[in-house]
Amino acid sequence: MINSSKKRYLFLLFSLIISQLSFGLKPVYVSPTGSDSGDGSFNSPFFTIQKARDLIRSKKMSGEKGPYSILLGKGDYYFEHTLSLDQQDNGLYISSIKGEKVRFTGGISINPAEAHPVAESEKGDMFQLKVRNHILMVNLKKLGITDYGILTQFGFGHPLSATGMELFINGKSSHLSRWPNDSIVPLVNVLDKGSVAAEGDKGTRGGRFTYSGNHPSLWKHREDIWIFGYFRYGWADDAIQIASIDTVGRILTTVQPHLYGFSSGQKWNGWYAYNIAEEVDEPGEYYIDRREGILYFYNPGKIDRLEVSVLKDPFIAISETSDIGINGIMFECAGGIGVEIKGANNCVLKRCSFLNLGLYAVSIDDIKDGVAGKKNGLKDCKISQTGAGGVHLFGGNRKTLNSAGNFVENCSIHDFNRITKTYCAGVQITGVGNRISHCEIFNSPHVAILLSGNDHLIEYNDIHDVCQSTDDVGALYYGRNPSERGHQVRYNYFHAIGLNHAHTSAVYHDDGACGMALFGNVFYKAGSWPSLIGGGSDNSYINNIFIDCPVAFYVDNRLQNWAKDMVAKGEIFEKDLNEINYNKLPYSLRYIELSKYWADNPALPKRNVVDRNVFVRVKTVIEGDKKFLEYSDNNFVTDLDPGFVNDKEHNFKLKKSSEIFTKVTGFEQIPFEKIGIRKIVKHKQK
């Protein structure tokens, strides 16, 4: 009889033999229990990946040929600094050993026994009496932890930067103590809207406004209190420090101004305050006394793992190299980006997960004014609980229209606006010729896909429950540059978009956006206007299905009225077109319409084709002037189930007997069952 430990050893040994056969070389091994004084063998693994990388570099220098691999044993790998991979490391494969759980962490693990009840200390009176027995404290300074980061302004119009120290309990993100816990305080009366940079005032004067109620009078510790909110527009979030609180007049004065100034009257014009010691009053909240180096948090119950994030730089930075593979690794607990890829080729992250990061999971880009990369991407990955967005998918040359072919494929991306709420998308795609396919993107206050550039492909994605708490927003959003065109959006499922909000769309062609072709998409309860065409041209909707939407299309001619300055001489559109030589090759050939852009009355929307579409239980098909759409007679409107496989269960694949195939000439079956994440097939070893 073979005992369990023996079985496990034999399984690992078999896996290692297969790995060696697969990679062509004896791999270099790393383990959290290894030592950098070892030799990198299975029985004497290294402790750090840097040591394994350096050994492989030396082997390459001596003439040993690849491919090369680093195999990681189970456990946590703490990253204090970035692992850099460059041209010395081409052809390198980094992977967990088959079946092993490998976790990269940028946080410091704290023994839960170091968390002591605050009620038993002299600090107890900092907290409300009713919750005092639930508050625990950790003296970080005594543990040698001294870098707590600082709170900074973030949100719309601010550059992204790594977060300060965050707390994670049992793998879940906590948040700085706030009030109110689950709502906002309206801006009652704005006394001074502050300096308004959007109106030309570049000063630094903060705003002043009144609030209702007396709750802020309870705050005795006011050294570093901040407020977060939508201070004018429902699509522009901001975090601003409080300068003073007049509890008699109920007036807040802020340190920094808001880009658009402070305003009141809209349902989103409100704020909540955070980083307040007295407001640690429910599970998931914490406060850091940065002067004394003490962490306070509300005890959620059983604590198995307690971590604070420290790493601010990427775990891995890949630059100007090729054929790097990273497989089966968990990236967690850091203030910045998980993996950064610049100017590389064929570098792919596969079956990795990204959780509890401060910014994005992955950034893929070219090197500015330097090396352009191609065919880099993510496949079969999971991304959640990131502070900003999911993936920056850049790459490609907009002046030459050379495609990058970078991609995000078969990935789950959700709950990705934990800190910054707007314009930090599940995938921000730009450059030329990149692809998002078979992904599920969901649970976000703002956009799922933020698009710019040319010739991108968006296909087979399941996009839902986004645009949940912002206004004037689209799940797929782009605009304000008529040279950015050539996009194909096909076979996507947009549903549950911005329910209960006034101005939300599935696809938002904003401010003159042009040149997008949508084919075979399904829109179910997809916002107040599933398609919003804001003054642009050359957008086509063919062979799509709209279901249970108040309006299918909203269209306007804004470039002829309130947005006419955009097409004025010397303004933004002319500058954008001149920057890429719109009337010369390759643009003049690739996009024929551009060569005569100014002679073709650009303020007038045209060639927006709506043909072979189906509208099921849609109250109004077109809102706005219909003359701005080329709406054909070959569209079908019905209040009845036209022949879905299962209307009640939201299976919108069409039966072969569906009346759509007779009512709409040339309508093609939409492969509804293929939309979304494909099942990952695990191949058995032979």
- The region, left, alpha or beta by phi > 0 then psi within -120 to 50, assigned to residue 580 is alpha
pLDDT at 3 > cutoff 60 = no
- For the segment 327-363, what is each residue's pLDDT rounded down to a tens digit? 999 999 999 999 999 999 999 999 999 999 999 999 9
What pLDDT is stored for residue 17 in this prediction?
43
Distance of CA 628 to the CA centre of its chain: 33
**Span 215-226, average pLDDT:** 93
Find all residues with CB under 8 Å of 128, minimum gap 6, and list them. Answer: 278, 281
What pLDDT is stored for residue 349 in this prediction?
98
- For the segment 240-281, what is each residue's pLDDT rounded down to a tens digit? 999 999 999 999 999 999 999 999 999 999 999 999 999 999
pLDDT over 90 for what percent of the chain? 92
- For the segment 491-524, what is each residue's pLDDT rounded down to a tens digit? 999 999 996 667 999 999 999 999 999 999 999 9
Least confident of 369-378, 620-629, 648-657: 369-378
In this prediction, residue 137 has a pLDDT band, given cuts at 50, 70 and 90, of very high
- For the segment 32-67, what is each residue's pLDDT rounded down to a tens digit? 999 999 999 999 999 999 999 999 999 999 999 888
**Span 99-113, average pLDDT:** 96
Q: Which residue has the higher pLDDT, 295 or 222?
A: 295
pLDDT over 70 for what percent of the chain? 95
What pLDDT is stored for residue 65 in this prediction?
86
Closest CA to 432 of 451, 413, 411: 451
DSSP label of 290: T
The CATH number of 179-278, from 1.20.272, 2.60.40, 1.10.3470, 1.25.40, is 2.60.40
- For the segment 595-626, what is each residue's pLDDT rounded down to a tens digit? 899 999 999 999 999 999 999 999 999 999 99
pLDDT at 22 > cutoff 50 = no
Find all residues with CB under 8 Å of 98, minimum gap 6, and list them. Answer: 15, 18, 19
What pLDDT is stored for residue 10 in this prediction?
44
pLDDT at 397 > cutoff 70 = yes
Q: Parse the chain into domains and list their residue ranges.
A: 109-177+280-306, 179-278, 467-686
In contact, 76 and 103? CB cutoff 8 Å: yes
Task: Specify the 3-state DSSP secondary structure of 600.
Answer: helix
Q: What pTM was computed for the model?
A: 0.95
Rounded Cα distance between 92 and 76, Å, is 21
What pLDDT is stored for residue 369 in this prediction?
76
In contact, 33 and 75? CB cutoff 8 Å: yes
What pLDDT is stored for residue 18 in this prediction?
46
Task: Specify the 3-state DSSP secondary structure of 65.
Answer: coil
- For the segment 303-335, what is each residue's pLDDT rounded down to a tens digit? 999 999 999 999 999 999 999 999 999 999 999
Closest CA to 146 of 287, 292, 275, 285: 292
Find all residues with CB under 8 Å of 681, minimum gap 6, and list them. Answer: none
pLDDT at 680 > cutoff 90 = no
What pLDDT is stored for residue 148 in this prediction?
96
DSSP-based helix, strand, coil % in the chain, nearest 5: 15, 35, 55
Closest CA to 491 of 616, 668, 655: 668
In this prediction, residue 147 has a pLDDT band, given cuts at 50, 70 and 90, of very high
Closest CA to 425 of 376, 458, 455: 458
In this prediction, residue 540 has a pLDDT band, given cuts at 50, 70 and 90, of very high
pLDDT at 236 > cutoff 50 = yes
DSSP string, 626-672: GGGSEE-S--EEESS--SEEETTTTEEEEPTT-THHHHSTT-----G
pLDDT at 683 > cutoff 70 = no
Mean pLDDT estimate for the chain: 94
pLDDT at 16 > cutoff 50 = no
In this prediction, residue 232 has a pLDDT band, given cuts at 50, 70 and 90, of very high
What pLDDT is stored for residue 501 in this prediction?
61
Rounded Cα distance between 66 and 321, Å, is 15
What pLDDT is stored for residue 466 in this prediction?
97
In contact, 420 and 391? CB cutoff 8 Å: no
What pLDDT is stored for residue 294 in this prediction?
98
